[in-house]
Amino acid sequence: MKGLLIKDIRLMRGQSTILLALLILVAVFTGVVSDVSPSFVVAYITIYLSIFVASTISYDEYDHGYLFLMTLPITRNKYVNEKYIFGILISIFAWCVGMVAGTALLIARDADMAAGEWIGSNLMHICIAWVFMSITMPLRLKFDSEKARYANIIVIGVILAAAFGASKLIEYVPEHITESAGKFFAALGDNGIVALSAVIAVAALLISYICSRRIMAKKEF
């Protein structure tokens, strides 16, 4: 598995250096010319680069790459393990890069925010990146690159539609239920909400990982 990690890191380094530079420039430029929060810079870089991890599967598929990989001392389960470990590492790396760029923008704006509050408010972006990764990874293993692209669009569209529908349904929820929910989240506090988000993100990754292992076990090369 160490060999697969080295392969993907080198591949990512060769393919994403320009992409990462563009992400930083676009995010910082957007923050400079508009009123978006510096936190947007962190979210933009973290989530986008994390989703890009799934593209490494395309390079493995190219020119019957799977057949070659499976002749090495690599099992299908080890392959899936490496992809998720690699994705988690890249998301953390992207978050660190985003934090540097976002902090620079924060300082440039002379914004007054405590370091703990700034870091805590941005930890949520790693959770969001993991949720997106938990969606894209099984789809990418299940379908080829073209079909996976459409599948991702459909799934994200369904999620957005469900979120929009839920926001409309809340208007019809009894007031005492919404008040109870508000009190629950208020009691959790910022740290509690981040912890709850982390639990949800880890659970999504675990479910995604189980699905990916099953998909890979049945995959024909």
* Domain range for 205: 2-218
| Mean of pLDDT values over 75-81 | 87
CA 20 vs. chain centroid, Å, equals 15
| Mean of pLDDT values over 97-126 | 78
Instruction: Return phi, psi of residue 34, to 5°.
Output: -130, 180
Triad 87, 89, 95: Cα angle to 5°: 100
Residue 126 has pLDDT above 70, yes or no: yes
Give SS3 for 70. Answer: coil
Per-residue confidence (pLDDT) for residue 37, from 0 to 100: 76
Domain count, the chain: 1
The per-residue DSSP string of 45-92 comes to HHHHHHHGGGGHHHHHHGGGHHHHHTTSS--HHHHHHHHHHHHHHHHH
Instruction: Return phi, psi of residue 161, to 5°.
Output: -65, -40
Supply the mean pLDDT for the chain. 76
The answer to whether 91 and 125 are in contact (CB under 8 A) is no
Per-residue confidence (pLDDT) for residue 146, from 0 to 100: 63
- pLDDT tens string 155-207: 667 666 766 676 666 666 666 566 666 666 566 666 777 788 889 999 999 99
Per-residue confidence (pLDDT) for residue 17, from 0 to 100: 62
Residue 92 has pLDDT above 70, yes or no: yes
Give SS3 for 199. Answer: helix
pTM (predicted TM-score) = 0.79
